[in-house]
Amino acid sequence: MKMQVNEDVLTYVEADAVPEAQGSTNPTGPDGPQSRNSMVICQAVGRSIFTSSVSSAAVGVGFLLQKEEGKEASCPVLFIQLNELFSAPDGLQWKQTARWIKFEEKVEDGGERWSKPHITALSLHSLFELRTCIKKGTVLLDLEAHSLKQIVEKAIATQIDAHALRPEVRKKLMSVLLRTPQHHTTKSQLGRVAELGAACYRDKAHNQTDTGAEISEAPLKEQLKNQFRKKIPPEAEVSNILVGEVDFLEKPFIAFIRLQEAVGLGALTEVAFPSRFLFILLGPKAKVKAYHEIGRAMAMVLTDELFQRVACQAQDREDLIAGIDEFLDELTVLPPGKWDPTTRIPPPKCLPSPQKRISMHLREWKSHCNGNVSAADDRHTHGHQTVSEELQRTGRLFGGLVKDIQRKAPWYWSDFYDALNIQCFSAILYIYLATVTNAITFGGMLGDATDNMQGVLESFLGTAIAGAVFCLFAGQPLTILSSTGPVLVFERLLFSFSKDYSLDYLEFRFWIGLWVAFFGLILVATEASYLVQYFTRFTEEGFCALISFIFIYDAVKKMLSLAESFPVNWDYKINDVTLYGCICNSSGTGNASMLTEMLLPPPGSAAMQQGLEAANWSLLTRTECLRVGGHLVGNSCNYVPDITFMAFILFLGTFLCSMTLKSFKTSRYFPTALRKLVSDFSIILAILIFCGIDAILGLETPKLIVPSEFKPTNSQRGWVVFPFGVNPWWVCLVSAVPAVLVIILIFMDQQITAVILNRKEYRLQKGAGFHLDLFCVSLLMILTSVTGLPWYVSATVISLAHMDSLKKESTTSAPGEQPKFLGIREQRLTGLVVFILTGVSVFLAPVLKYIPMPVLYGVFLYMGVAALNSIQFMDRIQLLLMPAKHQPDFMYLRHVPLRRVHLFTLIQMLCLAALWILKSTVAAIIFPVMLLALVGIRKAMECIFSQQDLSWLDDIMPEKDRKEKEEKLQRSQEKEESDSEDSEFLYQEKGPEINISVN
């Protein structure tokens, strides 16, 4: 144990006095208080404009952090509790008044509830007082103790031995410090109701803690059942702060204690976790507010991750003081009179990474510079994308594919048992319904475009087979394969071309598919996926926005088509209700025998003769009337207003309900676990809610219809396409030309989606497989071409929705802190089950027929909007409509002029408009080339924008020459820094900013 006691005990000073600075032995010297002020502030600030290097405190802190750098263990989370001593009718009593994990929570007046978490705000003077307390008080480091009584006895004995405390107050001090504290425990709502009910039948005095009893060494029942334990990580430790005033002390009793091993201190803390630190401050009367503020200052310093590391590694008192000095160096001061001190500052949504901050300090201290890290270096680090392991070229045929297999093989079995989580069940239901809807939508469009050579059944079967195979063997199994808009455009053009030139469509398509697979295998063999490094954010966002708009457009288009099928009578007038009606009338060519069979009783019955007279067309239903050749007459025959309006209610209701329930986890209602569960199942709940509404109202809204039997949609085709049939022999060679366009489309579509899904923001742990994914898609091209099924490629929007439904967040978060994003639940099972369910959907037709199509179109709309909200492009579009003073504080707006941001956005909008026009016109054949042209356009933009601007708005494109120049420049800068290490700097520039992703 390391022990230090300064004989010069903290002088009892007035509230407005400045504490004595380190090294000053004459506080009333000739320089007076102003000299002490200057000395304290200069020492509190780690760097001065008059010094040639970092302060001795910074060097000391840097030395401590450097010692810890090689160790794997990090400081555990600290739960900090502030207990204050109050006078009660039956004596002194310790009461919990505040607590911290990251932010402060106070016990409100009356002691009935905790305040909302807020950032601790206190005076600079209280931090100087705390610094002096550490300097003047007792510091016990690595104390061996197993109970609070042993700790208190050692602290008191140390001060008595140092003649800092009178021996006669030992007993009184022990009695005060060992009193049982009163905690404000967090209880469930049910527990509070039960407690209120019990309070009506018992005396209030029996509900009070015995203030005179000695503290229990074992945790109390209320500590073990405290609901607040759920907010604290299991490996957390406690820091106890005890402050108060007593009448038997003449000078403050101050002790800072760090235990060698964290031990449980019984009933001292609100929650039963082991304690590591104790800070005790007891002093004379009339200073209770000052003691309270010093206690809060100690708690605020201990919440700082940098000071926590210093406190864990400190060897003596000077190390602790150096840690406080570094804390003061980074302190931000709010001027008096410019804000309301009673206002509680809410916690921010995002907190800077403590690891980044600590590593930054280590770099500064190692180089002994004054933090002169240029913003250009920051921008370079921000924008430069290093080549990932998955995209490094091996120089061997299929070398990248082999590397992908070797990388993914160790994770293969974990890809199945990692899916054993209820969140995966929610993802399966959500993505299944999205996939089925997509299969029906694109299957119907393919049927219209190809004269049912490929229809809904082929879409179901192909989706199930291709998707299941891909999920079993692909490098990124979170990818969802589907028919996409660009592929549909090519299929339409190919069928039209075959029809015009009397070619067999499926046979022509067969040879194109084989060539595409051949070209794809060549790209895999030559490691062409290396080129995806040139797919920067500009290209990714343009493609993602296009696919998202296609989803939104198709959803709205389908809903508008319902208005044509079920038109609304806009000329309806309530006064003319007696004029509205609809009857079946004979057209003169109707089938009389069929009419008689429908309306008359069986032959030979007694009512037959009467039925002959009653037989008339007006008794027929709409279907029967049209079947016998009649026609409908009346003002209301063509209008079904309830269906259209109800369909739009279901459509918009599903969309809005999905958005609302998805964000429910950030609301203030209900416990955290329930909010997260509702958010995970948000899409399924929205679908169930509006399916229930539709069933209750009983309106004949259009329902989901899936094929009920396995047979080709067009009876003229089979399940296998023969390569040599109607078409001439040379078609197999000519097919290579359109196959070039298709492989460009497949490569761009597949790899852009793969780049988006494998961005570092998603924190994937199992790695990507660009070569393996393209290899699987190429082989599936052979299978789908031979069987005449649709071609499949990665679906950007559905894949993003799949990943969004599998996001992992921290289960324990400090009050006021947003749950931390931990990554994606990487596994193969959800996708595999989704595609298996898609294949057996034929047998689920009796159940699926109750799902209204407007509800599924609402899910389509949600997926498109959710994908758009995830890209920076949409944020910059909104900036075009905002005055500068109302624009959000995005990081790129701090470094790039607004007009340059708008120019970048306009170029992206023009490219998106060009892609949309090409997709929708006869020029769609060159759509794949235009996708490839996005990379060239991005390259040409380097002539308009500087690398600094592009590093913030986009990613830096890899260039070998530039890399070599940057490496040479970095080496020269390091040499210059080593030569001028002892030079003096005139001023200190602002340190590097912490970049928080806005995406």
- Grouping H, G, I as helix, E, B as strand and the rest as coil, residue 704 is coil
Return the exposure string of 263-277: e unless at least 16 CB atoms fall within 10 Å of the residue's CB, then b: bbbbbbbbbbbbbbb
Tokens of 86: 């109050």
Q: Indicate the DSSP class of residue 259.
A: E
Segments of the chain with pLDDT less than 70: 1-74, 111, 186-214, 353-388, 569, 571-580, 587-619, 622, 635-636, 638-641, 706-708, 812-814, 816, 922-925, 956-999
Contact 647, 568 (CB under 8 A): no
Ordered alpha helix ranges (H), 897-926: 898-920
Which helix H or strand E contains 240, and what residues bound it?
strand 237-245
141 within 8 A of 316, measured Cβ to Cβ: yes
Q: pLDDT (tens digit, 9 = 90+) per residue, 548-585? A: 888 788 888 888 888 777 777 676 666 666 666 777 77
| pLDDT for the residue numbered 996 | 29
- Strand (E) or helix (H) holding 823: strand 821-824
Q: Which residues pair with 243 in a beta bridge?
A: 84, 281
Minimal CA–CA distance to 137: which of 159, 161, 157, 154?
159
User: What's the rounded Cα separation, in Å, for the pair 291 and 122?
Assistant: 13
CB atoms inside a 10 Å sphere around CB 754: 25
- The C-alpha R_g of the chain, in whole angstroms, comes to 37
How many whole angstroms separate alpha carbon 642 and alpha carbon 648? 10
**391, 532 contact by CB (below 8 A):** yes
The full DSSP string for 308-359 is: HHHHHH--SHHHHHHHHHHHHHT--PPPTTSS-TTSPBPPPSS---HHHHHH
User: How far is the C-alpha of 385 from the C-alpha of 954, rounded, in Å?
Assistant: 10
Tokens 């063509």 appear where?
A: 638
Contact 889, 683 (CB under 8 A): no
Eight-class DSSP state of 620: S
CA distance 288 to 304: 25
Residue 345 phi/psi, 5-degree rounding, is -75, 120
3-state helix, strand, coil in the chain (%, to 5): 55, 10, 35
Residue 65 three-state SS: helix
Count of Cβ atoms closer than 10 Å to residue 963 Cβ: 12
The two tokens of residue 208 are 């009070």
Element (H, E) at 5: strand 2-5
Element (H, E) at 383: helix 375-383
Rounded Cα gap, residues 61 and 711, in angstroms: 75
Cross-strand pairs, 100: 80, 104
For the record, the structure tokens of 206 come out as: 């029996």
What token pair was written down for 586?
């004979």
Q: Which amino acid is at 700?
A: E
The two three-digit tokens of residue 633, written as one number: 């007459």
- Contact status, residue 361 vs residue 327, Cβ threshold 8 Å: no
Q: Where are any strands of DSSP class E within 42-163?
A: 78-88, 91-100, 104-106, 138-143
Secondary structure class of 1 (helix, strand, coil): coil
Q: What secondary structure, in 3-state letters, does 224-239 show?
A: HCCHHHHHCCCCCEEE
Q: Which residues of 141-165 are buried (b: 16+ CB within 10 A; e: fewer)?
A: bebebebbbebbbbbbebbbeeebb
Which runs of E-coded beta strand occur in 101-180?
104-106, 138-143
3-class DSSP state of 140: strand
3-state secondary structure of 489: helix
CA distance 888 to 873: 14
What is the C-alpha to C-alpha distance for residues 416 and 437, in angstroms, rounded to an integer? 26
Evaluate whether 633 touches 623 at the Cβ level (below 8 Å): no
Q: Which residues pair with 143 in a beta bridge?
A: 259
Q: Give the distance between the most distant pair of CA atoms in the chain.
A: 133
Residue 590 vs residues 489, 587, 600, 633: alpha-carbon distances, Å: 43, 6, 16, 15
Terminal C-alpha separation, the chain = 49
Pairing of strands 807-809, 821-824: antiparallel
If one counts every other C-beta atom within 10 angstroms of the C-beta of residue 386, the result is 9
Smallest CA-to-CA distance from 866 within 428, 434, 441, 426 is with 434
CA distance 847 to 749: 34
Q: Using CA atoms, how far apart are residues 268 and 271, in angstroms rounded to an integer?
A: 9
Taking only the tens place, the pLDDT of each residue in 641-670 is: 678 888 899 999 999 998 888 888 778 788
Contact 560, 648 (CB under 8 A): no
CA dihedral 796, 802, 804, 808 (to 10 degrees): -140
C-alpha 263: how far from chain center: 36
Angle at 729 (CA atoms; ends 727, 733), nearest 5 degrees: 105
* CA count, 13 A, side-chain hemisphere, 643: 20
Question: 10 Å Cβ neighbour count for 974?
Answer: 11
Contact 864, 438 (CB under 8 A): no
Would you state the structure tokens that stand for residue 478, as one six-digit string? 């979170």
What span, in angstroms and rounded, lies between the C-alpha atoms of 781 and 517? 6
- Contacts of 21 by beta carbon, 8 Å cutoff, 6+ apart: 36, 39, 40, 43
